[in-house]
Amino acid sequence: GENVEQHPSTLSVQEGDSAVIKCTYSDSASNYFPWYKQELGKRPQLIIDIRSNVGEKKDQRIAVTLNKTAKHFSLHITETQPEDSAVYFCAASFWDSNYQLIWGAGTKLIIKP
């Protein structure tokens, strides 16, 4: 079955700098890769996602890149702000009728003022 690895587990960056979180997946059949942001005690919120038919997607300060050959995808946050501090989860899925997400272990992002 699918296995998703996420690195680093903790990332501390200076406010204004960029942050990059990386994930690898094992099942080449996976074709949908969302990223979720979760603040303490709250629900995960979808921040960006990418399908396997594109290599990059951007939404303001957030971008996701996908390398299907290497089976890895990354989240890029530019010009980080204090409110970006949270735990970020990547996930992989085969976009079928049941759509079960396989989750990464999470990355705690700390933005230092």
**Residues in contact with other proteins by the rule CB under 8 A:** 34, 41-46, 49, 87, 89, 95, 97-101, 103-106, 108
- Least Å distance between CB 16 and other proteins? 27
Which residue, 14 or 100, has its beta carbon nearer to other proteins? Answer: 100
Q: How far is CA 93 from CA 14, 21, 88, 102, in A?
A: 32, 18, 17, 6
Strands 62-67 and 56-59: antiparallel
- Least Å distance between CB 101 and other proteins? 7
Query: Residue 6: how many CB atoms within 10 A of its CB?
Result: 20
- Least Å distance between CB 21 and other proteins? 13
